[in-house]
Amino acid sequence: MAHENLPVVHVINGRQKKLLQGHPWVYGNEIERVEGEVVDGELVTVVDFRGRYMGTGFYNSRSLITVRLLTHRSEEITVELIAARVRAACEYRRFVMNRPGTDSCRLIYGEADRLPGVIADRFGDVIVLQVLALGMEKYTQVIADALVSCEKPGCLLLQNDDAIRRKEGMECFTKVLHGELPEETVISENGIRLSVDVKGGQKTGYFLDQKDNHLFVRQFCRDARVLDCFSYIGGFALNAVAGGAREVTAVDISESAVELIKRNAQLNGMQVNTVCANCFDFLRAQVKEKQKYDVIVLDPPAFTKAHANMANACRGYKEIALSAMRMLPAGGVLATHSCSYHMPEDVFVNTVLSAAQDLHRQVRVITLRRQDIDHPVLAGYPESHYLKSLWLQMLD
Ligand code: SAH
Q: What is the pLDDT of residues 231-249, one digit of tens each?
A: 999 999 999 999 999 999 9
Candidate from 211, 212, 253, 259 with most ligand 1 atoms within 8 A of CB, to mutate: 253
Taking residues 50-72, what's their average pLDDT? 97
- Distance, CA 125 to ligand 1 centroid (Å)? 25
Asked if 55 and 46 touch (Cβ cutoff 8 Å), the reply is: yes
Residue partners of 15: CB distance under 8 A and separation at least 6: 26, 30, 48
Taking residues 288-293, what's their average pLDDT? 98
Candidate from 195, 202, 230, 248 with most ligand 1 atoms within 8 A of CB, to mutate: 230
d(CA 55, CA 202): 34
- Distance, CA 239 to ligand 1 centroid (Å)? 17
Ligand 1 and 301: CB distance under 6 A: yes
d(CA 279, CA 287): 12
Ligand 1 and 111: CB distance under 6 A: no
- Distance, CA 261 to ligand 1 centroid (Å)? 12
Asked if 85 and 115 touch (Cβ cutoff 8 Å), the reply is: yes
- Kindly report, residue by residue over 86-132, the tens digit of the pLDDT: 999 999 999 999 999 999 999 999 999 999 999 999 999 999 999 99
- Distance, CA 281 to ligand 1 centroid (Å)? 14
Nearest CA to ligand 1 atom 26: 253
Q: pLDDT band at 77, cuts 50/70/90?
A: very high
CA angle 16-19-22, nearest 5°? 155
Nearest CA to ligand 1 atom 16: 230
> Any catalytic annotation for residue 339?
yes
Ligand 1 and 132: CB distance under 6 A: no
- Cα distances from 298 to residues 255, 268, 290, 372, in angstroms, run 18, 23, 18, 17
pLDDT given for residue 1 in this prediction: 60
- Distance, CA 290 to ligand 1 centroid (Å)? 23
Ligand 1 and 389: CB distance under 6 A: no
d(CA 110, CA 354): 34
d(CA 4, CA 286): 64
Ligand 1 and 374: CB distance under 6 A: no
Candidate from 252, 256, 339 with most ligand 1 atoms within 8 A of CB, to mutate: 252
Kindly give the interhelix angle for 235-242 and 255-267, rounded to the nearest 10 degrees. 30
pLDDT given for residue 54 in this prediction: 98
Cα 358 → chain centroid = 31
pTM exceeding 0.75: yes
Nearest CA to ligand 1 atom 10: 230
Catalytic residue among 105, 155, 314, 339: 339
- Distance, CA 20 to ligand 1 centroid (Å)? 37
d(CA 45, CA 9): 6
Is pLDDT above 70 for 161?
yes
Ligand 1 and 139: CB distance under 6 A: no
d(CA 272, CA 254): 16
d(CA 45, CA 67): 9
- Kindly report, residue by residue over 186-219, the tens digit of the pLDDT: 999 999 999 999 999 999 999 999 999 999 999 9
pLDDT given for residue 306 in this prediction: 72
- Cα distances from 355 to residues 37, 224, 322, 361, in angstroms, run 54, 23, 5, 9
Q: Which atom of ligand 1 lies closest to the CA of 213?
A: 7
- Distance, CA 52 to ligand 1 centroid (Å)? 46
Ligand 1 and 256: CB distance under 6 A: no
- Kindly report, residue by residue over 359-377, the tens digit of the pLDDT: 999 999 999 999 999 999 9
